[in-house]
Structure 1
C-alpha cells in the first residue's frame, strides 16, 4: 500500500486557514489604527494573536504582503461605505455631498487609520495600491459629475481634470485634521471642516442652485471631452 499520497486540503482545513488569516488581518488592522503601519510589525501581530512569527509568515509572502493586505482591507471598507452612500442618493449635488461627507466624516472618526491609508510613507507596493484605489474614487467622482451635468446642476466641464482636482482637494484638506501630531479637535471643529470641504467642492464644480439655474449655458462653460 502506498503511503506517499500527496496531502490535499479539505474544505474544513481551507476554511480554518482562511479564518486564521482573517484573524491576523484584524489584529494587524487594529495595530495600524493605533500606531500606523510602522506599529504593525510581524512580531507585534504574532504577539497579539498569540502565535509564532513563523505562523504569521505561513499566511503571507512576507511583511510587505501582509501590510498590503491590511491596506486593501481598510481601503475596501472605506470605498464600499462611500459607494453605498452615493448610491442611496439622487442628483449630482446630493451625490457629491454624500461622497464628501461620508469620506471625510469616516476619516476624521478613524484618524490614525485614515492617515495611514492616505498619507503615511510606505513601501512602494502599498503606494501602488493607493494609486489603484485613487482610480476607483476617480471613476466614482466622474460618474457623479456626469450625472450633475446631465441634470443641469453642474455646467459642462472637463470631467477627468475636475474629478482629479476634487479627489486631491478632499484628501489634502483633511491632512491637518488627520495628522497624528495635530491637536485633538471638537466635534464642532470637525463638522466645520467637513462643511467647508463640501462648499469648496460644490463651488469648484460650478454647482447651480435650482432657483438660479439657467437653461442657457454660458459661453465659457467648457466642454466634456
Structure 2
C-alpha cells in the first residue's frame, strides 16, 4: 500500500512538473521570455506560485528546462535525418530546411529560444544547445567528406559555419519587432535559399 501511494505521488509530481513547463513554453510562444514570469506560469498551470518553487529554484531554471526540452526534440529530428538512408547532400539539405521551417512555424517561440536577450545562465544553456546541434551536422558533413561529395579544411569549422547559417539567418524574419509577414511562398523560397547556400558552400563541384 505504501509503495502504491509512493508511485501515485511520484506520478502526480511528474504531471505537475510537465504542466508547469508546458505553461511556461506556451507563454514564451505568445510573448517571449518576458511574459514567462513565475506568477503567470503558475496561473496558466492552475497551481500556486509556491508549488512552482517546489520544483524550480527560480524563473531561470524553468526557462532553462524549457529550452533544453525544446532543443532536445529538435536535435532528435536532426540525428534521425543524419542516420537516414539519404545521401549526404540530401541529408544536409533536409536537416537545414527542416530546422528552419520548424523555426518559422513558431516564430515567437523560436526567436525567444535562440535570440531574445537573457541572463548569463540561460545564455550558457543556449551555447550548449548549439553545440549539440553541431554534433548532428558534423555527422552529416563527415560522411559527405568521406564519400568525396563535400570539401572543407576543417570539419569542426565547417559544421560551425552551417549551424551559424541555419540559426542566425532567421533572426530578422523571426524578430517580433520587425513585423515580417511571411506567407508560404516567401517561407519556402527563404528556406530553399538557406539550404542551397549551406550545401553549395561545401559541395564538391
Q: TM-score by structure 1 length?
A: 0.84
Deviations 1:37-57 (A, max 9, x none): 111111101111222111111
In structure 1, runs of 5+ residues without a counterpart are: 1-8, 209-225
Given the superposition, is the C-alpha separation of residues 178 and 97 from structure 1 closer, same or farther in structure 2, using an over 3 Å criterion?
same
Within the alignment, does 1:206 sit opposite 2:181 as a pair?
no
Within the alignment, does 1:114 sit opposite 2:110 as a pair?
yes
- Conserved? CA contact 1:93–1:207, under 8 Å: no
Partner of 1:222: none
Alignment of 1:68-79 (within 5 A): 68-79=64-75
CA distance in 1, matches of 2:108, 2:204: 33
CA distance in 1, matches of 2:137, 2:153: 13
Given the superposition, is the C-alpha separation of residues 143 and 124 from structure 1 closer, same or farther in structure 2, using an over 3 Å criterion?
same
- Conserved? CA contact 1:166–1:201, under 8 Å: yes
Q: Which has the higher helix share?
A: 2
Partner of 1:155: 151
CA distance in 2, matches of 1:71, 1:112: 13
CA distance in 1, matches of 2:175, 2:33: 14
Q: Which segment is superposed worse, 175-184 or 193-202? A: 175-184
Partner of 1:3: none
Match of 1:141 among 122, 137, 141: 137
Q: Which has the higher contact order (CA 8 A, sep 6+)?
A: 2
- Conserved? CA contact 1:92–1:147, under 8 Å: yes
Alignment of 1:1-225 (within 5 A): 10-182=6-178, 183-208=180-205
Figure out how many residues of one structure are paired with residues of the other and give that number: 200
SS of 1:181's equivalent?
helix
- Conserved? CA contact 2:78–2:136, under 8 Å: no
In structure 2, runs of 5+ residues without a counterpart are: none
**Higher alpha-carbon Rg:** 1
Given the superposition, is the C-alpha separation of residues 121 and 89 from structure 1 closer, same or farther in structure 2, using an over 3 Å criterion?
farther
CA distance in 1, matches of 2:148, 2:54: 55
- Conserved? CA contact 1:86–1:98, under 8 Å: no
CA distance in 2, matches of 1:17, 1:54: 14
Q: Structure 1 stretches (4+) deviating beyond 3 angstroms?
A: none
